[in-house]
Amino acid sequence: MKDMDISPLVQADGKTTTPGYMPGFGNDYETEALPGALPQGMNSPQKCNYGLYGEQLSGTAFTAPSHQNERTWCYRIRPSVKHSHRYEKIDVPYWKTAPNVVEDVTSLGQYRWDPVPHTDEPLTWLTGMRTMTTAGDVNTQVGMASHIYLVTESMVDSYFYSADSELLVVPQEGRLRFCTELGVIDIEPKEIAILPRGLVYRVEVLEGPARGFVCENYGQKYELPGRGPIGANCMANRRDFKAPVAAFEDREVPSTLTIKWCGQFHETKIGHSPLDVVAWHGNYAPVKYDLSDYCPIGAILFDHPDPSIFTVLTAPSGVPGTANIDFVLFRERWMTMEDTFRPPWYHKNVMSEMMGNIYGQYDAKPDGFAPGSISLHNMMLPHGPDRNAFEGASNADLKPEKLDNTMSFMFETRFPQHLTEFAGKEAPLQDNYIDCWADLEKKFDGTPGKK
């Protein structure tokens, strides 16, 4: 384990910036690192204070409906065109993008992997990204990719942005710092972060090695699911999301900016840090969220609701109710249902389900799904509790029971997920996973009244 804290952003007065946050999700934030840096009452004054340049970052089309329209105005030392020069294509071999169908890897199947182990190789956010599955097509801005990250090294004078996607980051081990154009976000296990498409950042390791999961969303942005009859409260509440306050650095050192664009990676050399936004306002911003703030809703008399009841975030696909991605959380909760098989039921689904374990034990699979593991139940492939979970739940004395010390999640997409070569050939695939259902017995007995 290594502790690093190499370079929080530095203010003009030389003081180190520590993360500070503003509450909300998708609301209109405003923040300035220097007094008076943010224009009031207008976006484009003839001259900005402190000699700053005004620049808009558009996260949606100009004409997107107003409840979905997202953009942020930045007041920065240099406009972004100065953070860009000639591009050179580079190889980032383990970060794959859809479409990516590997001929000799079979995606049809129920799969589970042990935690991908760390190695001695120093790995950054870029080189440590291991794509497990891809779905859809980045060129038409639909679909997603799921990744495991293994990060041991901070990015130094090196920056990144994805033009392809917004990234949902789910740490499982270690602590990371995202120094972004719009401010600093620190995250650790139990928290998540959303990094919008086009946002420049570098990733530092605060405590390593760091491992976690990433869902790369090629499509429409994540939003909070509608609660319907649940009403105005519970599940994820907007106020519990945190956007960073403005922080910048005025540092002239040789630097590298890498851009992911239609699945290819390109590098450009610049002479300064691009993290030079002194003030900003708008609703297109990175956020973090503490999953322990998620308030689960569930059955209080009988039966087991669909897992969509636990949706934290949803990224729409254009077909109502059919998500490009749902991010679903299985956390600590009480089980109180009467005369009910309480674990998740047996299932076959048009959606594809990628699950990961953050900590503890998952109720449908008590064994073989250690923290850091992932499983994939692809489009229309059956799955459900293993024999032990079935027998235990079928014969349990149904008192109120707390599922404690448990946090798993699902990236669920309307698209079939294709395994990468890494997932099929290098990652620690559990060959015997499907055997967990082998011992399920035929119990049928045609005698009337028999259970």
Footprint of Fe ion (CB under 5 A): 347, 353
Annotated binding-site members for Fe cation: 347, 353, 383
Amino acid at 116: V
CB atoms near residue 9 (< 10 Å): 25
- The whole-angstrom separation of Cα 76 and Cα 276 is 5
| Sign of torsion over alpha carbons 198, 314, 184, 49 | positive
Amino acid at 242: K
* Cα–chain center distance at 308: 17
Nearer to Fe ion, 203 or 328 (CB): 328
Give the end-to-end CA distance of the chain in Å, rounded to a whole number: 54
Shortest reach from residue 326's CB to Fe ion, in Å: 12
Shortest reach from residue 295's CB to Fe ion, in Å: 23
Nearer to Fe ion, 71 or 347 (CB): 347
The β-bridge relationship of strands 255-261 and 158-162 is parallel
Query: Nearest-CA neighbor of 311 among 328, 294, 288, 293?
Result: 328
CB atoms near residue 136 (< 10 Å): 25
Nearer to Fe ion, 266 or 347 (CB): 347
- The whole-angstrom separation of Cα 120 and Cα 196 is 31
Catalytic residue among 85, 272, 304, 377: 304
Assess whether 266 carries a catalytic annotation. Answer: no
Nearer to Fe ion, 191 or 353 (CB): 353
H-run or E-run covering 420: none
User: Do the Cβ atoms of 142 and 136 come closer than 8 Å?
Assistant: yes
Shortest reach from residue 199's CB to Fe ion, in Å: 33
Query: Nearest-CA neighbor of 287 among 222, 157, 195, 405?
Result: 195
User: Do the Cβ atoms of 37 and 250 come closer than 8 Å?
Assistant: no
User: Do the Cβ atoms of 7 and 179 come closer than 8 Å?
Assistant: yes
Burial of 63 (C-beta count, 10 Å sphere; 0-12/13-18/19+): exposed
Shortest reach from residue 349's CB to Fe ion, in Å: 5
Nearer to Fe ion, 23 or 296 (CB): 296
Nearer to Fe ion, 352 or 420 (CB): 352
Annotated binding-site members for homogentisate: 362, 383
Shortest reach from residue 344's CB to Fe ion, in Å: 6
- The whole-angstrom separation of Cα 398 and Cα 403 is 13
Shortest reach from residue 343's CB to Fe ion, in Å: 11
User: Do the Cβ atoms of 384 and 344 come closer than 8 Å?
Assistant: yes
Catalytic residue IDs: 304
